[in-house]
Structure 1
Amino acid sequence: MRITFEEMQAQLVRVLRNYSFSEQKAQLCAKLFAENSLDGVHSHGLNRFPTFIQYIQKGYVKVEAEATLEESFGAWERWNGNLGPGNLNAYSSMNRAIELAKTHGMSCVALSNTNHWMRGGTYGWQAAEANCISINFTNTIPNMPPWGGTDNRIGNNPLVIAVPRKGGHLVLDTAMSLYSYGKMDVYKRKNQPLPFEGGFDSNGNLTKDAGAILEAKRPIPIGYWKGSGLSIMLDMLAALLSKGNAVKNIGDLEAEYASSQVFICFDAERADLPFIEQVTNELVSYIKSSAPVEPDEAISYPGERTLLTRQENRNKGIPVDEEIWNQVLAL
């Protein structure tokens, strides 16, 4: 089943307006959700929307709240998200980071007390469209064991790195777990095995069974001990820079909210955009010239498959889970 981007956005706006969103906020929030599905990230697009509404109903997400400036150190600012909608807080924080980068050459906007930002890559694309290089990350609830442990003590803390390029921006969006919880849920719903072992089952065995990993709550970090260490440091930086919650504090809450995020920007125009274009083009060509393992599968740079999926879904419509689509229509 496929639907148009416009139809998805319109239905999401309808629901959001029923939950006291202003027209402007509803349009932007719905657009961000729909764009995630358009780009093929269904786990943080339409599929996540019913949970987002549940969080509003439970009071974790404050519909009318706006982020407020807490402290300013020139190019570095601390903001309080006041538990507002996570994607709107993140979008406005990235806008502010872009503004500061255009003024100072580089910037850091650290955001505390916010909600799930949905797809982190959204804000990398946002920065690249403004000709900015960006590094962004968030912390989460403890949803992954540290390397060598069995109890969840670290988050899968998505990291986003983006570089603008006329021929297609380079945007890396990666969780610290080999597969994000959202991605594993997609495989579970389709009753399909993961391409590679993504975690342990309840008996401590490595498995491709997404459902078994979700039940055991034991995904493995990328790079094993290296991903575990990176998760710890990203969480620490998010908390320290924003003066917000670290993973333990978030884990003490009844659900995942009041998280901390960081948006770092560099003004690529000031840093010589033609040079950046030359280097990125050369690097992309060099990487794609590698002999593929499978002859019919091309080598992709970070963000390339997103662009292809975006165009396909624009032309054919966005594929949706019919059960979830019906849930949204019923809201």
Structure 2
Amino acid sequence: MRVMYDEMVAQFVRVLHKHGITGDDADLSAKLFADASLEGVYTHGLNRFPKFIASIQNGSVKVHARAVCSESYGMLERWDGLQGPGNLNAWICMKRAIGLAKQHTVGIVALKNTNHWMRPGNYGHLACEHDCIGLLWTNTVPNMPAWGGTDAKLGNNPLVAAIPHDEGPVLLDVAMSMFSYGKLEKYKREGVLCPVDAGFDAQGNLSRDPAKVLETHQVLPIGYWKGAGLSLALDLIAATLSGGNSTCQIGKLPVETNLSQCFIAINLSSFPDRQALKRNIAATLEDLQASVCREEGTAVHYPGQGMQQVRKENLELGIPVDEGIWKSVLEA
């Protein structure tokens, strides 16, 4: 089943109005959800929307709160999300980091007390639209064991690196687990195995079965001990810079809220050799794409490249949706 983009946005806006998010904020929030699905990140678009509404209903998201600056240190600012909607808070903070970068070449906003930011690639796109490199990450509730451990002590702490490119940004958007929980839930609904090992089953064996991994909450860190170490480092940096909660502290709360996030923008327009930098990026990507995939025999793609074609197709034909989830939105 496919749904046209404008219809999806309109339904999101309608439901948001019912739950107290109105005006430009509702329009932006709806667009961020729909854009995720439009570009093929279905787990954090439509599929995530009912969970967002549930977080409003359980009180973890304060619909009228928005992030505010609490401390300023020149190119770095601390902001307090006041438990507002995570996607709106993230948009505000990424825009502010870009504004600081236009003043200082580098801008950093560290955010505390916020909620799940939905699809972080949206904010990487925003940085690239202003000719900035974007580096941003968040911590989460404990949902991943450290390598060698059996208890979830780390967050899967997604990281985005976005680099402007004339033919479409390089957009790396990855969790520190082999698969995000949203992706595991998608595979489970579809009744398919993960393409590679995703985590551990109840017997402690590596498994590609999403249902078994979701049951144990023992997801596999990317790169084993390297992913676990990177998760810990991202968590500590975000919590330290923002003065907010670490994953350990978030895990003691009744629900996942009061997260810590970091937004860094680097203004490439500040550099006098900007055109040379563009040529270097283009040459590097061209060299990468000259490689041939071992299995498919097609050209290698850089991160984010495929989104442009997915976006074009979904605008023309409509966005593929899970019928059950779409029905729940229509009935909300």
- Specify the TM-score bucket, using the shorter chain as the normaliser: over 0.9
Paired letter, 1:157: N
CA distance in 1, matches of 2:194, 2:107: 38
Q: Secondary structure of 1:269's match?
A: helix
Indicate yes or no: 2:62 matched with 1:83.
no
Residues 260-318 of structure 1 show CA distances to partners (whole Å, capped at 9, x for unaligned) of: 00000100111243122111111101111123202443211011112221111111110
CA distance in 1, matches of 2:240, 2:229: 17
Matching residue of 1:254: 254
- Please list, as runs of the form range in 1=range in 2, the aligned pairs for 1:31-70 lying within 5 A after superposition: 31-70=31-70
CA distance in 1, matches of 2:324, 2:263: 35
Matching residue of 1:178: 178
Q: Secondary structure of 2:314's match?
A: helix
What is the aligned length? 331
Matching residue of 2:187: 187
Matching residue of 1:93: 93
Q: Secondary structure of 1:153's match?
A: strand
Q: TM-score, normalised by structure 2?
A: 0.98
CA distance in 1, matches of 2:81, 2:177: 26
CA distance in 1, matches of 2:14, 2:293: 46
Give the C-alpha shift of residue 58 in structure 1: 0.8
CA distance in 2, matches of 1:308, 1:314: 10
Matching residue of 2:142: 142
Matching residue of 1:123: 123
Matching residue of 2:207: 207
Q: Secondary structure of 1:220's match?
A: coil
Moved over 4 A (4+): none
CA-based RMSD: 0.9
Matching residue of 2:229: 229
Matching residue of 2:274: 273
Give the C-alpha shift of residue 122 in structure 1: 1.1
Q: Secondary structure of 2:145's match?
A: coil
Matching residue of 1:284: 285
Matching residue of 2:330: 329
Paired letter, 1:302: P
Contact 2:292–2:298 under 8 Å retained in 1: no
Paired letter, 1:128: C
Give the C-alpha shift of residue 121 in structure 1: 1.1
Q: Secondary structure of 1:12's match?
A: helix
Matching residue of 1:241: 241
Paired letter, 2:232: I
Matching residue of 2:12: 12
CA distance in 1, matches of 2:25, 2:296: 46
CA distance in 1, matches of 2:312, 2:158: 25
CA distance in 1, matches of 2:15, 2:163: 35
Contact 2:290–2:299 under 8 Å retained in 1: no
Residues 5-41 of structure 1 show CA distances to partners (whole Å, capped at 9, x for unaligned) of: 1000000000000111122111000000000111111
CA distance in 1, matches of 2:309, 2:180: 21
Paired letter, 2:32: L
Give the C-alpha shift of residue 66 in structure 1: 1.2
Residues 156-192 of structure 1 show CA distances to partners (whole Å, capped at 9, x for unaligned) of: 0001001101111101000000100011111111001
Residues 66-114 of structure 1 show CA distances to partners (whole Å, capped at 9, x for unaligned) of: 1111100000000000000000000010000000000111010000000
CA distance in 1, matches of 2:326, 2:277: 42
Matching residue of 1:102: 102
Paired letter, 1:36: A
Q: Quick one: percent identity of the two aligned structures?
A: 50
